[in-house]
Amino acid sequence: MSDLRDFEGEIDRLLTRLEKRSAYADIMAQSAQGQSVRMDRQSTRPASEPRFQGAAVRVWAGTKWVEAATSDLSPAGLEVVADSLEGALESDAVRSEPPGPSSTTAATSLTDPPHPVSELGVEGMLKLARDVRGWVTQVPSIRDAIVNLAWTDEQRLFVNTVGARCYQSVMRVRGTVAAVAVENGKVEFDFLSEGGVGGVEQLDFLTEPHAKEIAESARELLAASTPPTGEMTVLLDPGVAGIFAHESFGHGTEADQFVRDRSYLKPILGEVLGPESLTIVDNGAYPGGWGTIYYDDEGNLGQRTVLVDKGRFVGALHDRETAAALHAKPTGNTRRADFVSRPFVRMTNTYVEPGDWSKEELLKEAKNGVLLEHATSGIEDPLGGQMQLKVKKGHRIENGEVTGLVTSMALSGRVLDFLRAIRGVSDQSDFIISPGFCGKGHSDILPAGTGGPYLLSTAVVGPA
Amino acid sequence: MTPDTAPNPLAHRVAEAIRTPAPWEVFAERLRRYEIHFNGRVVEVLRGPLVVEGYGVRLFRPNGEAIGTGFQASTDSTPSGIAQVVSDAEAIAARSTFPAKAVNLPSGAAAKADSSQILDTKLWAAPIPRMEEYLQQLLAPFDRLKDVVPSFGSTRATLTETSLANSSGLRTQYAHTTITIELALKAFGGAEGAPPGEYWVNDQVRRLDPAHAGDRVADWAQFAQDARRAKAPPTGELPVVLPAEVLATILPSVMGFRFSGLSRLRQIAPEAGSAVAAPGLTVYDDGTIPWAPNSAPYDDEGTATGRRTLVKDGAASELLYDLLHAGAFSSRPTGNGLRGLTFGTRDWMRFAHDPGLGPTTLDVPAGSGGSDAELAEVAGDGIWVQQLGWASPDGLSGAFGGEVRIGYRIRGGKLAEPVRGGTVGGVVLAPPGTPSMLSSVAALGSKVELCDSLRSPTMLVKPLTVAGA
């Protein structure tokens, strides 16, 4: 794909034209390239990221934003966008400023990994996928191993009428392995998924021991019992703790929900909600995190924002409008899923910071309960203050020991009750950031990292 | 000129420019999107036109005893852009293998497909005014409601010109409209001091009908109010009643996977004739249901859509195939080659995705269980689930489950107090002789409702696992 900076002249001309009609306009241009390989029992499917580019243009209309977008970055295509935006504006020029501070950041950032994906190439990706499949399928009862390897290099260029000009190229690399076990008509699977911003080193987790461990787990799930049902002590593995952070405090602190009076958290900002061992942050600047961005789509730097500090609820995530409405500063969390999507307040990498317990100490503290492992999904409830987390498997905890394997589960509960019941958080040695995708409601899907160490609390669980 | 007869649409133009050997296909879209986002009754953002024009080229090459497929998509339809896409696709096909013996592309003369029941002509002619009229009618009933307000929402209308072409001579096009409606209702007030309650509506439809926009607002308002006083459901194996809007989040993804060539390749598809559901339960896949979001005259590979029987009176019947899986089993494609099936980015831009195999609309005929009240009476003592957080069904294991966002206790055969929280879960399909949701369907309601990719009556399942207080 073209370097988006090749279009800067046309973009500047478009903004100069719009500047005559409004006090503020901005543009986010996007393009991407990438490669993926999907391999299973029957097929090998390499693929390329679509040759996809376009731009979203936004103008302040005095009381609301008007936006248009196009996949045609030619002068003629951008003219059509300008025409439609001018048609949507009032006849008189808008001289009022939009709410919140406008970025004036001018900078460039490119992912510069120690091992670029070019070192691997398509043939290298195919070989790695074949190796992983081979390791997984050596385990008895494994019917299939599905391997997905992918990288994308996404360019974004943000320019506004007050001086911001942010160009970034973000390289994301991800690997996923699913082992499918079948016996007597029963089908089960387990999976492994890691990735982040960087290069080939993000795939270092794809080793023979890890692949075989997942295969063994899938096979064992065929004979696993159903999980216990009801309210009990729950130990979340690091991936599940990350989904907890995302669904409970991530969505709940997206400050557009505050402005809508749709967050159960808004009235309790500043209060102590959990133990001192609990700190939750969103961090767009986390090195190598899956959700890491250098700049957001309003030209603010990706940055670390503390949401819960030692148990006290202290912060929220802001774009320019919510910052203006709530007397705060933008936090670098304005994100468009793509150039056609609206900018919203969104998370980047949201995680529970490590505490000082060991996993073994948490198990002893739990005494009896269930360990939830391998998060598959979650969903928020910003107004009602509930959360739902789902996991692929778990183990019973009996007398402080990990015992029988159990099948997939859903955890449900009130976030504030869950926080109050937290009894410990494990240390840095367990900490991970996992790759995932997040929607705003049911759409606008974008990459978001979630993470944490082990976390011990109480909740309702049931089969799912 | 109607929108589905535009001269020389994009796929046909790209096909003219392709100089690579057969077989190949082109799928193209010109998308215009308009959005109104509102907070309360105040418009926050007016968006559109958001114009994306793009295409995907897939080609098929022999690769040993298998077939290699290469796909690439682009928004660049210049001659050099098309040449680059074909070059990318050839490079991919050379490294790709799929166990098909042959791929027989659909053929057909240049033709205008029938868009009459997937295209809202009034919306097409004037998208923003039509959406504004719809929103006005949607929000009007709130004037008569006490202590319930529209919290926020959006209407997103996509006007799509789809065109297809392939090396077997197929040239066709059709136009369609898709609208997503999001509305959150908030209930508050009263002396009891309970926190606000919310009911969140997400709907996908083919046409806007302003005259009936507000028909269900009173029901939704009641759900929001009931959420304020709801308690956790009980724990146990209980009769559970699931209306179509909940079933739509569970059945299509599991059944669409298990009753397809995808599962047959993995040797986990149900044997034809095997008992997979309760007697009396029949399930079709039907890509021709008028105004269903997934209906179209052709699937995304150019195969005419149709109606297939997946389950007949509780027994497994047909499987679904796209071109590749049909080629693997010497079967005929069933019109289920669809693009943009996976959860992820750009899911509404189908041209950016190569075809996969999936269900169109699952169609479950009505039963003799009667009205909702009669189903509750048969349930006796259980719960009615009105909305789940996210059932996130898993096609491989068949497991599903989610948090109850709002539901009702059923006591003595009648709907009683609201419930919220806890989880409901189970397994949609299980090996013969093992209990599953489908084998435990005890009654089907007498009225069907179309919700997203499912048309179904309300189902009574005895039992499912409920984890609550």
A241-260 pLDDT per residue, tens = 999 999 988 899 999 999 98
pLDDT value of position B453: 95
Question: Per the structure block, which two tokens stand in for A198?
Answer: 């960087």
- Same domain? A93 vs A134: no
Does A318 map to a domain? yes
pLDDT of B398 over the 60 cut: yes
Segment A58-66 shows an average pLDDT of 94
Distance between CA A246 and CA A260 in Å, rounded?
Answer: 20
Cα separations (Å) of A197 from A300, B348, B399?
A: 19, 26, 32
Q: Which of A376-385, B256-265, B424-433 has the highest mean pLDDT?
A: B256-265
pLDDT at B344: 63
Chain A residues in contact with B389 by the CB 8 A cut-off are 379, 381, 386, 388, 412
CATH number of residue A17's parent domain: 3.30.160
- What CA–CA distance (Å, rounded) separates A72 from A81? 10
* Domain identity same for A212 and A235: no
Asked if residue A39 has pLDDT above 70, the reply is yes
Any idea which of A113-122, B253-262, B345-354 has the lowest mean pLDDT? Answer: B345-354
Q: What's the one-letter identity of residue A260? A: R
The two beta strands, A349-352 and A280-283, are antiparallel
Contacts of B81 in chain A (CB under 8 A): 51
What is the reported pLDDT for B4?
Answer: 60
Q: Is A201 found in the same domain as A336?
A: no
Asked whether residue A269 is domain-assigned, the answer is yes
Chain A residue closest to B232 (CA)? A413
DSSP string, A266-298: GGGTTSB-S-TT--EEEETT-TT-TT--SB-TT
The pLDDT value recorded for residue A384 is 87
What confidence tier does B113 reach under pLDDT thresholds 50, 70, 90? confident
* Longest alpha-carbon distance in chain A: 74
Judge whether A130 is closer than 8 Å to chain B, CB to CB. no
Q: What is the predicted pLDDT for the residue at A93?
A: 79
pLDDT given at position A381: 87
Cα–Cα distances in angstroms (integers) from residue A50 to residues A2, A245, B73, B152, B300, in the given order: 13, 32, 5, 34, 17
Q: How far apart (Å, rounded) are the C-alpha atoms in residues A339 and A342?
A: 8
Neighbours of A76 (CB within 10 A): 9
Report residue B252's pLDDT band, with 50, 70 and 90 as the boundaries.
very high
Report which of residues A384 and A163 the model is more confident about.
A163
pLDDT of residue B345: 63
Site of tokens 């103008």: A59
Q: What CA–CA distance (Å, rounded) separates A448 from A453? A: 17
A325 at the B interface (CB within 8 A)?
no
Using CA coordinates, name the residue in chain B closest to A378. B390
Q: With an 8 Å Cβ cutoff, are B151 and A262 in contact?
A: yes
pLDDT score at B5: 65
Task: Say how far residue B457 (Cα) sits from the centre of its chain.
Answer: 17
3-state secondary structure of B389: coil
Residue of B nearest to A445 (CA): B345
Question: Looking at the 3D structure of chain A, how many domains does it have?
Answer: 3
Q: Does the beta-carbon distance from A407 to B399 stay under 8 Å?
A: yes
Do residue A97 and residue A11 come from a single domain?
yes
CA–CA distance from B78 to each of A130, B24, B224 (Å)? Answer: 37, 19, 52
Roughly how many angstroms between the first and final C-alpha of chain A, as a whole number?
A: 43
Q: State the number of CA atoms in the 13 A half-sphere of B307 facing the CB.
A: 10
Which pLDDT score is estimated for A441? 78
Query: How high does pLDDT run on average in chain A?
Result: 95
Rounded average pLDDT over A439-460: 93
**Residue B374 near residue B235, CB atoms below 8 Å:** no
Of A54, A61, A446, the CB nearest to B75: A54
Q: Which of these, B60, B208, B182, lies nearest to B120 by C-alpha position?
A: B208
Question: Exposed, middle or buried: residue B433 (CB in 10 Å: 0-12, 13-18, 19+)?
Answer: exposed
- For residue A27, the surrounding DSSP H or E stretch is strand A25-39
Sort A16 into a burial class: Cβ within 10 Å, 0-12 / 13-18 / 19+: exposed
A149-162 pLDDT per residue, tens: 999 999 999 999 99
Q: A94 versus A237: which is more confidently predicted?
A: A237
Q: Do A67 and B46 touch (CB under 8 A)?
A: yes
State which of A176, A203, A221 marks the end of a domain.
Answer: A221
Indicate whether A364 pLDDT > 70. yes
- pLDDT for A394 equals 98
Q: Quick count: other Cβ atoms within 10 Å of Cβ A119? A: 12
Q: What are the φ and ψ backbone dihedral angles of A417, each rounded to 5 degrees?
A: -65, -40
A188 touches chain B (CB under 8 A): yes
Q: In which domain, by residue range, is A204 found?
A: 111-155+167-221
Q: What is the pLDDT of residues A290-330, one digit of tens each?
A: 999 999 999 999 999 999 999 999 999 999 999 999 999 99
Domain assignment of residue A238, yes or no: yes
Q: Cβ contacts of residue A340 below 8 Å, gap of 6+?
A: A54, A56, A69, B33, B50, B52, B349
pLDDT over threshold 90, residue B346:
no
Task: List the beta bridge partners of residue A401.
Answer: A398
Check residue A452 and give its pLDDT. Answer: 98
In a shared domain, residues A282 and A427 = yes
DSSP for A99-149, please give it: SSPPP--EEEEE---SS-GGGTHHHHHHHHHHHHHHHHHTSTTEEEEEEEE
Per DSSP, the residues of A379-400 read EEETTTTEEEEEEEEEEEEETT
Tell me: pLDDT of B112 over 70: no
- What pLDDT sits at residue A297? 98
Q: Is residue A376 domain-shared with residue A239, that is, in the same domain?
A: yes
Q: Are A250 and A282 in contact (CB under 8 A)?
A: yes
Phi then psi dihedrals of residue A33, to 5 deg: -140, 160
Size of interface A-B (CB pairs under 8 A): 264
Residues of A in contact with B429 (CB under 8 A): none
Same domain, A123 and A267: no
Q: What is the pLDDT of residue A329?
A: 97
Residue with tokens 């295509």: A77
Can you list the domains of chain B with their CATH numbers? Answer: 3-229 (3.30.2290.10), 236-467 (no CATH)
Q: Both A84 and A136 in a single domain? A: no
pLDDT surpassing 90 at residue A397: yes
Residues A411 and A408: their CA atoms lie apart, in Å, by: 10
Same-domain pairing of A302 and A204: no
| CA distances, A182 to each of A139, B98, B250 (Å) | 12, 22, 22
What one-letter code names the amino acid at A17?
A: R
Do A86 and A99 belong together in one domain? yes
Collapsing DSSP to helix, strand or coil, A376 comes out as: strand
The whole-number pLDDT of residue A37 equals 97
* Residues whose CB is less than 8 angstroms from the CB of residue A283 and which lie 6 or more positions away in sequence, other chains included: A289, A303, A304, A305, A348, A349, A350, A351
Tokens of B199: 């009911």
* Mean pLDDT within A436-445: 88
Residues A82 and A117 in one domain: no
Same domain, A355 and A206: no
User: In the numeric block, which tokens belong to residue B9?
Assistant: 């649409």
Pairing of strands A455-463, A230-236: antiparallel
For residue A249, the model assigns a pLDDT of 87
Cα B465 to Cα B424: distance, rounded to the nearest angstrom: 6
Question: B448 pairs with which residues across the strands?
Answer: B457
> What is chain B's length?
469
Number of H helices, E strands in chain B: 10, 20
Q: What is the rounded distance in angstroms from the CA atom of residue A280 to the CA atom of residue A242? A: 10
Between CA A103 and CA B222 the distance in angstroms is: 44
Which of B95, B266, B390 minimises the CB distance to A44?
Answer: B95
Residue after which a domain boundary falls, among A198, A221, A244: A221
Q: Which of A231, A202, A294 is nearest to B235 (CA)?
A: A231
Q: Does any CB of chain B come closer than 8 Å to the CB of residue A64?
A: yes
Backbone angles phi, psi at B133, to 5 degrees: -65, -45
**Alpha carbons A73 and A7: distance in angstroms, whole number:** 7
pLDDT at A71 over 80: yes
Q: Which of A60, A71, A443 to mutate against chain B (most B CBs within 10 Å)? A: A71
Residues A412, B403: C-beta atoms closer than 8 Å: yes
Q: Is A74 on the interface with B (CB under 8 A)?
A: no
Q: Which of the four pLDDT bands, split at 50, 70 and 90, describes residue A2?
A: confident
pLDDT digits (tens, 9 = 90+) for B53-68: 999 999 999 999 999 9
> How many angstroms separate the CA of residue B103 from the nearest CA in chain A?
15
pLDDT at res. A232: 96
Q: How sure is the predictor about B355, in pLDDT bands with cuts at 50, 70 and 90?
A: very high
**Measured between alpha carbons, how far is residue B316 from residues A49, B278, B358, B393, B439 in Å?**
38, 11, 17, 20, 12
Q: Report the candidate in B182, B161, B215, B165 with the shortest Cα–Cα distance to residue B449.
A: B215
What mean pLDDT is predicted for residues A281-298? 98
Contacts of A234 (CB under 8 A, 6+ apart): A369, A370, A371, A372, A411, A456, A457, A458, A459, A461
Write out the two tokens for A419. 């926080």
Strand segments (E) across B64-94? 66-74
CB atoms within 10 A of CB A122: 16
Q: Is A40 within the bounds of a domain?
A: no
